[in-house]
Structures are given as C-alpha cells and as structure tokens.
Chains A and B, each alone.
Chain A
Amino acid sequence: MNDVMIEARGVTKNFGDLQVLKGIDLVIPQGSVTCIIGPSGSGKSTFLRCINQLESLDGGYIVVQGEPVGVKIKNDRLHMKSHAESAKMRENIGMVFQSFNLFPHMTVLQNICEAPVRVKRKNPKKVRERALELLERVGLSAKADSYPSSLSGGQQQRVAIARALAMEPSLMLFDEPTSALDPELVGEVLDVMRGLARAGMTMIVVTHEIGFAREVGDHLIFMDGGGIIEQGDPRTVLQDPQHERTKQFLAKVI
C-alpha cells in the first residue's frame, strides 16, 4: 500500500451503442481534493459512479486502496465480485448525490444510523452518539428527529453528507452536490465540504462550482466527450487553460 487512493486505467463505459467513457486514466493521492468539471453528458458523473460500482466498467480497471473495483483475482483468474463483495467495498466509500436521496420514511437520525448499525453491526448506542456529533458538525443538531421532507434542500444535503460520514469512509464521492439547490442554500453545503477537506478527507467532487474548485481543490479535471481533456492545479487550469475546449467551457460558466 502506498499513498495512492485511486488508480484508474483505460476505463471505458458504454450505454448501448453510445460510449460515454473513452479510456480514463487517473491517479488520485490520499488526502487530496479532486474536482471534476465539464459540460453535461461529458461522462463525469458516470466515471464517479464507476468508482463505487454503481455502474459496471466495460473496459479497463479502477483500483481503490489497492483493491480492484467490481472484480477480484482468484487462482490467477479474473472473476466478477458478488453483490455482497462489492457492498463490502462500498462501506469504505461515501457518496453524496445531486438529489440527496435521503430515506423519506426515516427520521434524520435513523437515516444516519441505518447503515452503521445494519451493515457494520456497530453498537446502536455508540452509533447514535456519533450521529449526533456528525449532526452538530453539519449544524443540524436540532433536526435529529425531523423527517427529511420537512428540511430544506441544503439541510437535506448536509444530512446526506453526515449519513455518508457515519460509515467512516476513507473516500468521499460528491455527484453535483449543489446542483439541485436554490442559490442561497449552496453556501451552507460547500461550507461543510470545505471543513471536510480541511480535515484531510480524500474527496472527488463532480461540480459546477468553479469557485469551490479553485479555492478548495488540489487537482482539477476537465472532462468532455467521455475523456479527460485537461487536468492540473486548479488555479493554473482555470487561469490559463491550454486546450481550446476547456477555454470554451470556462468562458461559458465563469
């Protein structure tokens, strides 16, 4: 084991006849914040979903902390992982969705405690304490017993972050976490993510928030048409994009 969190080589993905990922090569070090930007349909969300096997790969491989995603090597042969084996790996990878996807039939606290108690079989009392700590961290202690439907979008997304953190993941994936929010609610979610980055969490963030990418990101990736067009230090890429498509995209969003 070294300090590489994720290594992706030649990752391809097809939806029917359409190739949405055309060979992604990427190395992400531990403790880094990587932001992926690009127009819709560029494959950035699909790539993120490949990392925790929500989508299966059609070619190439992804290795997270030395462990291949979706497959395993047994007796010098490559086998598919079972659903349970993939689930085991996902315990270590937190994910936050654009549409929050909180469980509407559970209270905020139940949302956070469900997976640690049911999946990791942890002591419910300790999980509860930890959940309340996390809620305080995202500034929602007062909402522990509320149902998600009574929360604003920003509050729901902060609960979703707390829910993912309750599994104590070593990697967090954010799939356009602020895209479904009213403009005035974006800040509160970005603040939580900023705090998380400061605490040293490895994060991959698919986002349209160029300001966040510039300020918090260690690494910026621009994707278009299913491939990585340009990557590097966020400030450099944003100020002085080398590729014509990057220039066009940035001219539109900034």
Chain B
Amino acid sequence: MTSTLDVERKHPSAVDDKTRSLLLGRPHKHNGAMWLTASVVLVTVLLVAYSLVTNQRYEWDVAFSWFTSERLFTGLLRTLGLTAISMVVGIVVGVCLALARLAPNTIVAGVAAFLVWFFRGVPVFVQLLFWGFIAAIYPRIEIGVPFGPEFFSVDANSLITPFVAAVLGLGLNEGAYMSEIVRAGLLSVNRGQTEAATALGMRRSAILFRIILPQAMKVIVPPTGNQTISMLKTTSLVSVLAFPELLYSAQLVYSANFKTIPLLIAASMWYLLVTSVLSLGQYFIERHYNRGTATAGRVNTRADRRRIKSATATTTSSEEGQP
C-alpha cells in the first residue's frame, strides 16, 4: 500500500506553495450589500411601526375594546361555523367529483369535468350573488317525478336562506378546487398498491378507503389545510348576502358608530388569530399523515429533526475541514 506521502513525492503539487496555502484557507466574505439591504428594510419597518403607534386615527383602544366585544365574537362563531360546514360540503363534493372524473364511464367523467370547469371558472363572489338571488330564477322548488306529478314544493326564499346560499356558494366552489386536490392525491398512489390489494381479493370500496385514500392523504392534506385557511377569509364575502358573520358584524357596528377603521382592525385581528391557530393545526395533521414514509416510520418528531440537523452539520463541517 502506498502512503499519501509516497504519492506526494511522486506527484508534486499542481500549484506553487503560496497559492496552495491561500487555497487551504477560507475565502473572505463580502457582506457590505447584505448590511445595506438590511438597514433599508429596517428603517422602513421602523417608519411604519412609528406611524402605527403615533397616528391617532387608528384608535387602537377602540379597536381592542371591540375585539373583545360579544357582537364580534358572535360573528366570529358564525364565521367558524360557516367555514367548517362549507369545507365539509367542499370535501364531500370534491371527493365525489374526483372519483367521477376518474370513472371509466365517459359520460360521468365528462359531466364532472364540466362542473369543475364551471364552479372554478365563475368567481366565487358572483356565485354567492347567484345563490342569493336564486328565487328570481326558481321562485318555487318542487320535489317530484321528472316531467311527472310533484309531491311537494316550497318557496325558494324560505328554503335558501342567506346561510344556505352561503354554504351552497362557498361549498360548491370549494368542491371544484378540492376535486383537483383529491384527484392529484389519488393519482399519486402507486398503481402497484391497487394491484396488490386486488390480488388479495379486496373489494373496490375497501381498496379505495383502506389502501388508496389513506396514502393519498399525504398529498391531499397540506393543500386542504391551505384551502381551509383560505375559506376562513373567503367567508367574509358572504357579508354581501347580509349574513352576520365576522366582517358583516363589524360593518353593522361601524355603520352605526362610524368607527370604521378600528372595527376593521378588530375583525382583522380575529382573522389573523384564527388563521395562525389553523396553521398550527395543519402542521400536526401533516405530521400524522407522514408516518410510514421515513426510515424509522417517523422522522418528523422534533428530536429526529434535531438529529438530522446535527448530522448534516457534521457533514458540512467535515467537508469544510478537508484540505
């Protein structure tokens, strides 16, 4: 075996001694531009913060007192309820549309594709207005045999309340987006999984619910979390239907006391608070669905991440240490 020394003696260095000693060091860092950018950003932030504190027209005290008021809190509860129900409708519709689009029946797949195109293509604000004015198109809603006798009918305005209109508008629009998310999730699962389950004699529904969907969740859950957070904010559009959710509750107050800005701030604080909580929840749900993917079954625990971080840190430092 030849030692490094032997090799060095046989093959002298490709560079002279001075170059070599320079190359063995670390290069100088030029941080000037970084500091300049940082100071510009910092000064801007300070200016905005100064204005937020000193500009009396924000009326922070009024904002905070309305933030904790019962009226806004009731509105918030309605916003949360509307978000939850619309998301459930959206997810159910989305799963159905996704399965329909993947069905071998071309008529079913085609109609599903059309519905997705329609509910994604028309702005959700316009859809909400349509549902709000549904009675103008269908004054009475009838249940009966198609083109035959009717069993009973109801007045559209008493059936489609502002709340029902909101759920329909938000839910169907969400369903169109969710169907794309669910479809991507289903397609992400390896074909071999279906084959293995089929070969074991599993029935179609069992293959879908026990094998495919649980694996698709990993792809479906993160964007669904985003959709939920986005839905929470989209519910504010429902104020146009005069449904007293968070924003409309705030609007009702400021239309009476003219404290417009403080009330918008109070509503915004609630929106920010809830979206932050939802983001945190999403983190834990994602972690749950990632089990089985990492080597030890679970890498997403804090301890594991620390271990990975320290492991990569060691590699980098050992690389740096190499001459």
Contacts and interface: CB of A to CB of B under 8 A. Distances in A.
B256 interface: no
Interface in A110-145: 114-115, 118-120
Interface in B185-239: 190, 192-193, 195-204, 206, 210-211, 214-215
B64 to A, nearest CB: 47
Q: Contact residue range for chain B? A: 20 to 34
B201 to A, nearest CB: 4
Contacts of A92: 201
Given A104-B293, A148-B292, A97 B200 contact: no
B303 interface: no
Contacts of B53: none
Q: Which of B193, B196, B292, B296 has the most CB of A within 10 A?
A: B196
Interface stretch (A20-28, A82-90, A201-209, A222-230): A82-90
Given A99-B192, A150-B295, A119 B203 contact: yes
Contacts of B291: 105, 147
Nearest to B290: A105
Nearest to A163: B200
Contact of A90 (B190, B200, B211): B200
Given A105-B215, A114-B210, A147-B291, A88 B201 contact: yes
Highest count of chain B CB atoms <10 Å: which of A88, A89, A114: A114
B201 A119 contact: yes
A101 B192 contact: yes
A242 interface: no
A73 interface: no
A21 B200 CA distance: 25
Contacts of A102: 196
Interface in B173-194: 190, 192-193
A8 interface: no
B297 interface: yes
A148 B197 CA distance: 16
B195 A54 contact: yes
A54 B198 contact: yes
A118 B210 contact: yes
Given A90-B198, A97-B192, A83 B203 contact: yes
B293 A87 contact: no
Interface string B278-296: 0000000000000111111
Nearest to B218: A105
Contacts of A164: 199-200
Contact of B215 (A104, A118, A149): A104
A237 to B, nearest CB: 29
Interface in A5-21: none
A52 B200 CA distance: 10
Residue from the set B198, B293, B295, B296 with the largest chain A CB neighbour count within 10 Å: B198
A120 B292 CA distance: 26
A76 B261 CA distance: 81
Contact of B196 (A83, A84, A103, A146): A103
Nearest to B193: A101
A103 B293 contact: no
Contacts of B193: 101, 103
B196 A118 contact: no
Nearest to A166: B200
B212 to A, nearest CB: 10
A80 interface: no
Contacts of A147: 291-292, 297
B99 to A, nearest CB: 15
Most buried by B among A88, A92, A105, A106: A105
A91 B201 contact: yes
A237 B303 CA distance: 58
A193 interface: no
A93 interface: yes
Most chain B CB within a 10 A radius of its CB, from A94, A118, A120: A118
Interface in A213-248: none
Interface of A: 52, 54, 83-84, 87-95, 97, 99, 101-106, 114-115, 118-120, 146-150, 160, 163-164, 167
Given A90-B200, A120-B201, 5 more contacts: A97-B192, A103-B211, A103-B215, A114-B200, A163-B200
28 contacts: A54-B198, A83-B204, A87-B198, A90-B199, A90-B201, A94-B199, A95-B199, A97-B199, A99-B192, A101-B190, A101-B196, A103-B211, A103-B215, A104-B215, A105-B214, A105-B291, A115-B197, A115-B201, A118-B206, A119-B201, A119-B203, A119-B206, A120-B201, A146-B297, A147-B297, A150-B296, A163-B200, A164-B200
